[in-house]
Chain A
Amino acid sequence: MAESPAYTDYHPRWLRRRLSTYWWLEKPSYLAFVLREGSCLFVGWFVVYLLLLMRGVLQGDAAYQEFLAWSARPSVLVLNIISFLFLVYHAITFFDAAPRALSIHVGKTRVPEWIVGASHYAAWVVASALVCWLVLGS
Chain B
Amino acid sequence: MRDHIKVQVARYLPEKQSEQTFDEHEVPCPKDWVILDGLNYIKDRIDGTLAYRWSCRMGICGSCGMTVNGEPKLTCATFLADYGPGPVRIEPLRNFPIIRDLIVDIGDFMRKLVSVKPYIVRKYEKPLREGEYIQTPQELDEYKQFSMCINCMLCYSACPVYGLDPKFIGPAAIALAQRYNLDNRDEGAAQRMEVLSEHAGMWGCTFVGECTKVCPKHVDPAGAIQRYKLTGAIESMKAFFMPRGA
Contact = CB atoms under 8 A, between A and B. Distances in A.
Direct contact of A and B (CB under 8 A): yes
A101 B18 contact: no
A68 to B, nearest CB: 38
Contact of B18 (A6, A26, A108): A6
Contacts of B163: 19, 23
Contacts of A100: 220, 222-223, 226-227
A103 interface: yes
Interface residues of A, number: 28
A29 B210 contact: yes
A122 interface: no
B125 interface: no
Interface in B89-109: 94-95, 97-100, 105
A103 B97 CA distance: 37
Contacts, number: 80
B141 to A, nearest CB: 8
A15 B15 contact: no
Interface in B116-175: 136, 138-139, 141-142, 160, 163-164
Interface string B2-19: 000000000010111111
B236 interface: no
Contacts of B191: none
A66 to B, nearest CB: 40
B84 to A, nearest CB: 22
Given A97-B226, A100-B227, A14 B210 contact: no
Given A7-B14, A30-B210, A101-B230, A14 B164 contact: no
B208 interface: yes
Contacts of A19: 95, 160, 163-164
A61 interface: no
Contacts of B97: 14-16
Contacts of B136: 108
A13 interface: yes
B213 interface: yes
Contacts of A17: 94-95, 98
A109 interface: yes
Contacts of B210: 27, 29-30, 33
Contacts of B12: 15
B98 A24 contact: no
A27 B69 CA distance: 12
A4 interface: yes
Given A7-B14, A100-B223, 16 more contacts: A7-B15, A12-B14, A15-B12, A15-B19, A16-B97, A23-B164, A26-B70, A27-B210, A29-B209, A29-B210, A29-B213, A30-B208, A33-B209, A101-B230, A103-B230, A108-B138
11 contacts: A14-B14, A14-B97, A14-B99, A15-B98, A24-B160, A33-B160, A33-B210, A97-B226, A102-B227, A108-B138, A108-B139
Interface of B: 12, 14-20, 70, 94-95, 97-100, 105, 136, 138-139, 141-142, 160, 163-164, 206-210, 213, 220, 222-223, 226-227, 229-230
> A-B pairs with the 4 shortest C-beta distances?
A101-B226, A12-B14, A5-B18, A14-B97
